[in-house]
């Protein structure tokens, strides 16, 4: 085989491998290097109220899911959740009780233009028509706060009632809610 034939065979093999790999299923990886002028968003753990067994971990899960949805589906630049949690601990802050000065300080520490704070409220008095143990009724909302002023720039809210695993359904609801976010 001469050099020209070897080169042609090598190119054909490489193209075939690349084409084959691109059609394989598997996890989709989303990565992006953003410019410095991109809006940065930090998502705090959602608070929760109620007595139907929603733990604090579900509020953390909702914040993680919203962060991922904003990055993957909406292409927003988000602050890594470990950085958000570390700064909350360091500053001894609670997402349930933040005044505008604390919002501005936290935003500056995270280099975030906006913070999102959310709530999950269990509405137990409206479940009388649902007899199954896994029935739930939740009001889920989050607010988008400007870190320069502490002002509310947007609110997304829904009330959902259903049966089944709350965490699974909550993830789907959060994904839909993330689709409503518009930040300019």
CA of residue 146 relative to chain centroid, distance? 18
Give the whole-angstrom CA distance, residue 167 versus residue 128.
Answer: 22
Range of the domain at 131: 33-178
- Residues 5-62: pLDDT tens digits? 554 544 454 444 444 444 444 334 444 444 445 889 999 999 877 655 545 688 899 9
Q: What's the confidence (pLDDT) of residue 35?
A: 45
- Residues 133-169: pLDDT tens digits? 567 788 999 999 999 999 999 999 999 887 777 788 8
Q: How many domains does the chain have?
A: 1
Give how far Cα 89 sits from Cα of 8, 27, 40, 83, 94, Å: 59, 33, 20, 10, 8
3-class DSSP assignment, residue 141 = strand
Asked whether residue 1 is assigned to any structural domain, the reply reads: no
Asked whether residue 97 is assigned to any structural domain, the reply reads: yes
63: domain CATH number? 3.40.50.10610
3-class DSSP assignment, residue 145 = strand
- Residues 82-129: pLDDT tens digits? 999 999 999 888 877 888 899 999 999 999 999 999 999 887 655 455
pTM of the full structure: 0.74
């Amino acid at each position: 085989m001469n050099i020209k034939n070897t080169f042609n065979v090598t190119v054909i093999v490489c193209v075939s491998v690349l084409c084959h790999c691109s059609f394989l299923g598997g996890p989709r990886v989303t990565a992006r290097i953003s410019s410095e002028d991109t809006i940065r968003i930090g998502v705090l753990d959602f608070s929760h109220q109620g007595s139907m067994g929603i733990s604090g971990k579900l509020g953390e899960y909702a914040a993680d899911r919203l962060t991922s949805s904003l990055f993957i589906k909406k292409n927003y630049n988000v602050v890594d959740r470990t950085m958000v949690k570390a700064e909350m601990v360091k500053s001894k802050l609670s997402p349930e009780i933040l005044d505008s000065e604390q919002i501005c300080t936290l935003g500056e520490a995270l280099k975030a233009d906006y913070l999102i704070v959310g709530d999950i409220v269990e509405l137990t008095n409206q479940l009388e028509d649902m007899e199954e143990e896994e029935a739930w009724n939740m009001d889920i909302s989050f607010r988008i706060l400007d870190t320069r002023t502490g002002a509310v720039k947007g609110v997304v809210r829904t009330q959902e009632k259903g049966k089944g695993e709350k965490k699974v359904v909550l993830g789907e609801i959060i994904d839909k809610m993330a689709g409503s976010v518009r930040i300019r």
